[in-house]
Amino acid sequence: MQVELLAVTQRNPALTPETVAGIGDLATIWQGKSNYPENMIEFAGRVCYRSTHRMGTARDFITDRVKEGHEDIIEHIVVTLRVSNTMDPLDWRMLNRHCEVTNVGERTWIVSGNTRVWLDFFRRGIALEAAPILTRVAPAIFAELGVSVLEEAAPDLPSFAANDPVQDLTPLLPAQIGPMRVTLLGYTQPLLDDPDLLLSHGAATFFFEGISRACTHQLVRHRLASFSQESQRYVDLSKGGWQAVVPPAVAANPEAMAELADFWRIAEENMRNCARLASARRMPVSCCPMPPRRASSRP
C-alpha cells in the first residue's frame, strides 16, 4: 500500500492574531504550542471547559483528553490521502461510516477522515502505512501508537494553498449579528480537478458563539457534522454566571428586562445554595437552565 497526503485542515487565511484581536477569545488559538491543526483541537477542548485563557499551558492537554475518551474534539481536523496499490479502502466505509472513500482508478482511492476516524483505524490495525503522516499532522493524538508503528520518519507537512488564492479576505472574517457570532476557523480542500471529488472530500470547521442551548440542540441533530460544545457539567457559576442569550423583544422592553434580571438573580442564588447544601461543587446539568453556549462544528 502506498499513501500520499493530499490535504489537511488549514487555517482560514483571514484569521491572524491581528485581525481577531479583541474578538472574543479567538486570539488565544495562537497561544497553543503546536501546529495550527493541534491548536484548533486544543481550542475546541478549551471551549468545552471555558478555559481558553489557558491555551498552551498544559503540554499533554490533547493526549490526556484522548486517554479520557473525550474524542469529539479531535474530529475537527480532516486529513485526505491518496491510497494506491491496494483494495483495502473498499471496506473502510463499512468499518467507519464517518470517512469518505472514492475509487479513482485501478487500486487507487481518495480517502478523507477526521483524526478520530484515522485513530480508530490504527487501533484496529488498519492503514498503518498512513500512521507516520497522521502523526506528523497531530502527534499528540497518535502518541499511543508508539515507536514500533512509526519506524519511518514522517515528511514535513506541505502547504495546501489554493491555486487561485482569495484576494479579498473580508468575507472570511468573523460575522456577527447581535450577540451571535460565527467564525470559519479552518478548511480542508484537496487540490483535485474533479468538482465532485472536491465536494465529497472538502470540509470546514466553524466556531459559533452567543447562541442559545436551544439553537445548539438543533445543530447537533445533524450527525454529518462533528461538534464540541461548552459543558454544563464543568462550567459552573464561578465562571461568569448564566450569561443568557436574551431575545431581542425582551431586550427592547425595560420592564421585561427587569423581570429577567430579577429571575436570574434568584436562580443563581438558589443554585449556589443547592450546591452548598449538597456539598457539591457543581450541580447536575438537569438542574440548570439553558444559558448561551458556544459550539464548534465541522459540517
- Render each residue's pLDDT in the chain as its tens digit; 299 residues: 999 999 999 999 999 999 999 999 999 999 999 999 999 999 999 998 889 999 999 999 999 999 999 999 999 999 999 999 999 999 999 999 999 999 999 899 999 999 999 999 999 999 999 999 999 899 999 999 874 434 443 444 556 555 556 678 999 999 998 888 999 999 999 988 898 898 899 999 999 998 887 888 888 877 678 888 877 777 766 656 666 778 888 889 999 999 988 888 888 888 778 877 876 655 554 444 444 445 555 54
Residue 140 host element (H or E): none
Which residues are 205's β-sheet partners?
186
Residue 239: the pLDDT is 58
d(CA 254, CA 257): 5
Q: Tally Cβ neighbours within 10 Å of residue 229.
A: 20
pLDDT digits (tens, 9 = 90+) for 52-110: 999 999 999 999 999 999 999 999 999 999 999 999 999 999 999 999 999 999 899 99
Rounded to 5°, the CA angle 104-225-4 comes to 35
268-292 in b/e form (b: 16+ CB < 10 A) is eeebeeebeeeeeebbeeeebeebb
In 3D, which of 215, 242, 216 has the Cα closest to residue 229? Answer: 216
Residue 146: the pLDDT is 75
Cell of 158: 506541505
Residue 93 host element (H or E): helix 92-95
Report field, pTM of the whole predicted structure over 0.85: no
In 3D, which of 153, 233, 219 has the Cα closest to residue 180? Answer: 219
Sign of CA dihedral 40, 46, 52, 58: negative
Q: Give Cα 258 to chain centroid, integer Å.
A: 37
Q: Tally Cβ neighbours within 10 Å of residue 139.
A: 17
What is the CATH number assigned to the segment(s) 2-161+168-231? 3.30.1360.170
Which residues are 84's β-sheet partners?
2, 108
Residue 46: the pLDDT is 94
d(CA 82, CA 5): 6
Rounded to 5°, the CA angle 73-76-79 comes to 125
The residue type found at 205 is: T
Return the SS3 of 84: strand
Q: Which sequence spans correspond to the domains of the chain?
A: 2-161+168-231, 237-281
Strands 203-212 and 180-188: antiparallel
